[in-house]
Structure 1
Amino acid sequence: MQDTLTTEDRAVNTAPQNTMRAAVVAAPKSIEVQEVTLPEPQKGQVRLRLEGCGLCASSIPLWEGREWFNYPVAAGNPGHEGWGVVDAVGEGVENMKPGDRVAALSYNSFAEYDLADADKVVKLPDTLAGKPFPGEPLGCAMNIFKRSDISAGQTVAILGIGFLGALLVQLAKNAGAKVIAISQRDFSLDVAKECGADEVVKMDDHYKIIEKVKELTNGKFCERVVECTGKEWPLNLAGELCTERGKLIIAGFHQDGMRQVNIQLWNWRGLDVINAHERDPQIYIQGIKDAVKAVEQGTINPDKLYTHTYTLNDINKGFGQLTQRPDGFVKALIIY
């Protein structure tokens, strides 16, 4: 085996790269993979050679098309669940170096490379080497759990068992709570059981669900109810499942219009309603750091929830599956 490069090899391997492949949402339900200019890190930034990026349901409206979006979208956008290896740093960056494996809070990660501010990057330990780590949704789960104030002895209902809901089942069980998982798909209820849910209830009939949860809690209902669907009906159902002075945690991303809720019920039961979304990037970063520890310690195990992987060339198919959610689908990753 040759241990050193020849002059010719050096010329080939050190040739500067100035382009990369990136997904561009050119029109609704149409993503093109294009060759675009490789971004250069500016002061305080790092460049990541991405290993992968998660597909997020919050990106479905952009992919499907809405009248308020303009196309084509910036290359790599809306990929925001990327992880990879630092390959270049900008001026003034001291806490990161090329070769560091990281998860990042960045926004154009449906591409081979992306830029991130150095203070919005979290180093990944060697214990997670080779493992996918979409930091943003993992950190989101940790932050929602913290806002939910779940503790041992409580009964917690979680509505919607996708990636987020499944992680919250794991976190609530680890905290010593009794967990009731409520979801539409039989497959997602099976996932909830595997994640430790004590009871599972099919999300089909509004009043049947209320009676079932009432029965499971001896008429007391739940101290904590976490809504993960982003839909109006489950949000109203969540209020019905809360006990008096319980906490209703809105974890679903409600982005497609106004909501009507039963505020009379919320008033009567004296509910604390917590909108568990964060906008401060540093809170997101702390959530990602907490997720690193939780995965290391086995508090959460996301590996079994990564059910589908696609290449950049297959990203349209990935979005189609994300929208349809066939049996077996929990979380999809684009792997480069």
Structure 2
Amino acid sequence: MHSMRAAVITGPGQAGLTQVPIPDPGPGDLLIKVEGCGVCPSNLPLWQGRPWFTYPAPPGNPGHEGWGTVAAIGPSAKGFAQGDRVTFLSSQAYAEYDLVPAEAAVKLPSSLDGRAFPGEPVGCAVNVFHRSRIEAGQTVAVIGAGFLGIVFTALAAAKGARVVAMGRRETALDLAKKYGAAETVRMDDHYRIVEYMKEMTNGMGCDRVVEATGFQWPLDLAGELVRERGALVIAGYHQDSPRQVNLQQWNWKGIDVINAHERDRNVYLEGIREGIKAVEAGLFRLDDLITHDFTLMELNRAYLALTERPEGFIKGIIRM
């Protein structure tokens, strides 16, 4: 076999399949037979369309949450053997094969055999947790009970923090509670939530507030909920338009503002390794969080589900 199928975003709201050559691994590369790839909210602008995008997108792009099996190894690539299951960092994993540097892959243990493992979002959640400087006894509000918010909740609760998970959907809040949230709050009314949290914290506010949605209102809410000299952690990926912040409020409170997105590949990979250990330790189960499966030809449906987020939706993946 010399060619493979890859998904292609051909225009706003349009995705299809194309046939492209299977790449040969160069020096230091691994050719991965992709088992699956997570569908990330950061993908949505490309699929929805923005003036600065050109189409068609490169085949397999922007799939960046892949895992699979090493099919071939390039010269000088070390640490892997054919047949190893790995999760990896790339940007073209919506395809049957992907080519990545060996330094961008993490070997999966046998305990995860046969199980989906989108390592990139797991590593992202772990690194947000580290950047947030969570300590036992802190009150931590997590705004957004999606995949990142729930994994973060599990990690913070295991550290001994009192976590308050906030979200729109009851099934997501139930999962957050399963993974350690002391309280859950339905995101329906700004002022009700502010008053509720004031009462819960005796008027002090939260030590840490993690904004994990990427939208304006939750960012506004985060500024209201964080206590004086607390920390507001921006974990949501804000990309649809410029944001406005109440800088007077932030100044007056003297808060730390932490942009928790990681760009150092080595740090990212270490987050993935820690995430693997957390799954093995039972802190959270990806089987609970991966709620929707799609085929490669169903990428449009996957993005539509990600946009609408119906009740029960946490994480969608493409399975090859």
TM-score tier by shorter-chain length is over 0.9
Aligned twin of 1:139: 123
1:239 pairs with 2:256: no
- 2:38 — aligned with what? 54
Task: Indicate the SS of the match to 2:229.
Answer: strand
For residues 1-336 of structure 1, what are the structure 2 equivalents within 5 Å?
17-336=1-320
Closer/same/farther in 2, CA of residues 316 and 163 from structure 1, 3 Å limit:
same
Aligned length: 320
Kindly provide the CA deviation profile for residues 174-223 of structure 1, in whole angstroms up to 9, marking residues without a partner as x: 11111111112233222222222111112122111110011111212110
Distance 2:80 2:259 in 1: 33
Q: Tell me the distance in 1 between the aligned counterparts of 2:11 and 2:244.
A: 32
Deviations 1:258-313 (A, max 9, x none): 11101111111110100000111111111111111111111232220110001112
Q: Is the 8 A contact 1:167 1:302 kept in 2?
A: no
8 Å Cα contact 2:116-2:286 kept in structure 1:
no
Output the CA distance in 1 between the equivalents of 2:237 and 2:32.
Answer: 28
SS at match of 1:316: helix
Which consecutive residues of structure 1, in runs of 5 or more, have no partner in the other structure?
1-16
Which residue is 1:10 aligned to? none
Look up the equivalent residue of 1:323 and give its one-letter code: T
TM-score of the aligned structures, taking structure 1 as reference length:
0.93
Tell me the distance in 2 between the aligned counterparts of 1:113 and 1:246.
Answer: 45
Secondary structure of 1:188's partner?
Answer: helix
Displacement over 4 Å in runs of 4+ = none
Report deviation, 1:134.
Answer: 0.1
- Is the contact made by 2:234 and 2:259 (CA closer than 8 Å) also made in structure 1? yes
Partners of 1:224 and 1:139 in 2: how far apart?
20
Deviation by residue 1:232-259 (Cα, 9 ceiling, x = unmatched): 1111210111111101100000112211
- Is contact 2:59-2:95 (8 Å) kept? yes
| Secondary structure in 1 matching 2:263 | coil
Does the CA contact (< 8 Å) of 2:149 and 2:212 recur in 1?
yes
Measured in 1, the distance between the counterparts of 2:164 and 2:124 equals 21
Q: Distance in 1 between matches of 2:240 and 2:265?
A: 23
How far does residue 96 in structure 1 lie from its aligned partner after superposition?
A: 1.4
Structural RMSD (CA) = 1.0
Please list the CA deviations of residues 43-63 of structure 1 after superposition, one character each: whole Å capped at 9, or x if unmatched: 111110011000001101111
**Which residue identity lines up with residue 104 of structure 2 in the other structure?**
K
Q: Secondary structure at the match of 1:24?
A: strand
Cα deviations across residues 128-187 of structure 1 (Å, max 9, x unaligned)? 111110000000000000001111111000001110001111111111111111112233
Stretches of structure 2 lacking an aligned partner (at least 5 in a row): none
Letter in 2 for 1:203: M
Report the 3-state secondary structure (helix = DSSP H, G, I; strand = E; otherwise coil) of the residue aligned with 1:244. strand
